[in-house]
Amino acid sequence: MRRLWDARTPAHEVAWNVAAEADLFGDALPATPGAAPPVVLPRALAELIEAVVCHSDSERYALLYQAIWRVLCGERQLLEVSSDPLVHRLGAMAKSVRRDIHKMHAFLRFRELVDPPTSDGCSAVHYVAWFEPQHHILEAASGFFVERFRSMTWSILAPRGSLHWDRTALRVGPPAPRGEVSSSDDIEVAWRSYYESVFNPARVNPRLMRQHMPVKYWRNLPEADAISDLVRDAPRRVQEMLAREAAASARRDPRKAVAAMAEAIEQGGPRTLEELNRTIAASPPLSPGADRAVLGEGPVGAAIAFVGEQPGDQEEREGRPFVGPAGRLLDRALAEAGIDRAKAYLTNAVKHFKYEPRGKKRLHRRPNPGEVKRYRWWLQKELAFVRPRLVVALGNTALLGLTGEPLSVLKSRGPLRLSGFAGYATVHPAYLLRLPDEATREAAYGQFRDDLSRAAQLVA
């Protein structure tokens, strides 16, 4: 095409014969030696070309060259004339290509196959999908799959070509016969259960699915009869998936973790405390720690919330906050301050127990500031659902989790402003347990209990 234009060959003098699939301005034809200046096309035309070259109509190149010819000969606004038959036809072609790409993104399903063992005896899992696009869209659609399934080895086989991703590079290959995907019943059954376990709820939009899923695509969807159950369950699974991904990215790059977590989860947005808790429970720790998350406890709408540091050994075993030694001291102080624990909300800045194994024991390790900050988004969301009138920070870690600032409770003790809540800072009950002598401990405990009484008065 470039050569044709350089030679100023009018569109009507060219007879196109589409034999092989070549890129419009690609390197199939080298540019003219001693070349003419670069061809600058309006952006809209360039975008149109990008889509229309993928169309299966054998006239696509002829039509595109006509449009290019007219634009370069002076009709710069050609694409704005939607009544022009050429513009109309190219527009419809581009639309059809884009729809085809959308369908490939939505309806392609990978099947898990095990590659034959290599000479060292290893065999690898390979995900294979068969798809029959209407147009030549394999490469145009490939970025989506590379992005989402970067860490898997996969192939997409199609009647007109194939794509192969080996976790580092994408290769475009020849067409593959359907037989390579295998359609025997037992693979279909295995595929169905595989599908149920890897079903990607983030892709589900039931309205669009109903609107856009022609029967043609269903024959490659052996899981079709599982879809209604999966769709119903999708929002919850989206949450869990986003949280898992956010946690994984937190481990890969802790500096970006807070933003990534917030952004990823905001996309699906937990709508209730229950949804948030399911997400937290399904997530691996955001810092090195025990796998089981200890969730907050207490009624939504509790007037007062207490935020501790992180669950301890006993809390992690029982799956409840403040049930170990520090919890028992807190219970005593709450009772003496006239606060009914069952009506309060108790949670922690960090939801997983960080510890150091020592023989059979697990010794508590304080979460570092980076780790506390990674959990902040969860804490803020949690409190936003509970909506307490007052949030009591127990100790420095809780203060950091609540404010994002490295404040000391001994300096900030008493009422404080938190964004969105009235706050109150006091010491952590475990601090009292660590004080060396009885007398100091008793005095500090008295102050702690007085703090809780003041907090109760503030709420009243």
Measured torsion, CA atoms of residues 192, 195, 197, 201, in degrees rounded to the nearest 10: -140
Q: How far is CA 456 from CA 134, 321, 452, in A?
A: 68, 20, 6
Angle at 421 between CA 420 and CA 424, to 5 degrees: 145
Beta bridge partners of 346: 297, 306
Report how many residues bind ligand URA under the rule CB under 6 A.
Answer: 13
Q: Which stretch binds ligand URA (CB under 6 A): 167-175, 184-192, 217-225, 309-317?
A: 309-317
Site string for ligand URA, 393-432 (x = CB under 6 A): -------------------------------------x--
Q: Which stretch binds ligand URA (CB under 6 A): 217-225, 321-329, 334-342, 448-456?
A: 321-329
Beta bridge partners of 129: 110, 156
Q: Does 100 bind ligand URA (CB under 6 A)?
A: no
Cβ-based nearer residue to ligand URA, 239 or 310: 310
Cβ-based nearer residue to ligand URA, 133 or 388: 388
Look up residue 53 and give its amino acid.
V
Q: Which stretch binds ligand URA (CB under 6 A): 272-280, 318-326, 366-374, 399-407?
A: 318-326
- 41/436 Cα distance (integer angstroms): 79
Interface with ligand URA (CB under 6 A), residue from 296, 327, 388, 423: 327
Q: How many residues in total does the chain contain?
A: 460
What is the closest distance, in whole angstroms, from the C-beta atom of residue 311 to ligand URA in the complex? Answer: 4
Cβ-based nearer residue to ligand URA, 111 or 362: 362
Q: Which stretch binds ligand URA (CB under 6 A): 15-23, 103-111, 163-171, 305-313?
A: 305-313
Q: Which stretch binds ligand URA (CB under 6 A): 196-204, 322-330, 381-389, 402-410?
A: 322-330
What is the closest distance, in whole angstroms, from the C-beta atom of residue 315 to ligand URA in the complex? Answer: 4
Q: Does 311 bind ligand URA (CB under 6 A)?
A: yes
What is the closest distance, in whole angstroms, from the C-beta atom of residue 293 to ligand URA in the complex? Answer: 12
Q: Does 322 bind ligand URA (CB under 6 A)?
A: yes
Q: Which two tokens stand for residue 242?
A: 């986003």
What is the closest distance, in whole angstroms, from the C-beta atom of residue 289 to ligand URA in the complex? Answer: 13
Q: Which of residues 339-378 bind ligand URA (CB under 6 A)?
A: 348
Q: How far is CA 333 from CA 295, 380, 429, 436, 452, in A?
A: 22, 26, 9, 20, 7
Cβ contacts of 346 within 8 Å, gap of 6 or more: 296, 297, 298, 305, 306, 308, 321, 322
Interface with ligand URA (CB under 6 A), residue from 201, 270, 296, 321: 321
- 261/378 Cα distance (integer angstroms): 9
Q: How far is CA 152 from CA 117, 122, 145, in A?
A: 17, 16, 10
What is the closest distance, in whole angstroms, from the C-beta atom of residue 327 to ligand URA in the complex? Answer: 5
Cβ-based nearer residue to ligand URA, 268 or 311: 311
- 333/351 Cα distance (integer angstroms): 23
Site string for ligand URA, 243-262 (x = CB under 6 A): --------------------
What are the backbone dihedrals phi and psi of residue 82, each rounded to the nearest 5 degrees, phi first?
-70, -15
Q: Does 298 bind ligand URA (CB under 6 A)?
A: no
Interface with ligand URA (CB under 6 A), residue from 268, 308, 401, 423: 308
b/e per residue 410-443 (b: at least 16 CB within 10 A)? eebeeebebeebbbbbbbbbbbbeeeeeeeebee
Cβ-based nearer residue to ligand URA, 348 or 380: 348
Cβ contacts of 321 within 8 Å, gap of 6 or more: 294, 295, 296, 297, 308, 311, 315, 327, 346, 347, 348
Judged by the rule CB under 6 A, the positions of this chain that interact with ligand URA are 308-312, 315, 321-322, 324, 326-327, 348, 430
